[in-house]
Structure 1
Amino acid sequence: MILFSALVAMGVLIGTAAHLPLPVFLAASAAITAWLLAFGAREGIARLRHR
């Protein structure tokens, strides 16, 4: 069920991205990438502090 939900969500997101203009899609992708990098860095720092 989780795999099915993930595939449906991915299909919706890809379908939505296909209708966006390229500059909007690239800006959104850059924002998501920056957020993920910041989150990963924060989690990595927190993990090092708890050792």
Structure 2
Amino acid sequence: MLFLVVSLFLFGALLGTAGHVPVPVTVLGGIAITAWLAVFFWRERRKSGVKGASR
């Protein structure tokens, strides 16, 4: 999943809207998205109760 996030970030920085804003803004956006995904992952993992449990 992290590979996907990094790939999309780099692709966006080279070709997308991120190419039109300053690099620090792009980096902060990437960090914010990564943090949001990490929180989402942690909450979903906690919700399942048992590691590796299927729904």
TM range, smaller chain? 0.5 to 0.7
More helix by share: 1
Superposition deviation, residue 48 in structure 1: 1.2
Unaligned runs of 5+ in 1: 1-9
CA RMSD of aligned residues (A): 2.0
- TM (norm. structure 2) is 0.61
Q: How many residues align?
A: 39
**Which protein is bigger by CA-based radius of gyration?**
1
Runs in 1 of length 4+ with deviation above 3 angstroms? none
Unaligned runs of 5+ in 2: 1-7
- TM (norm. structure 1) is 0.65
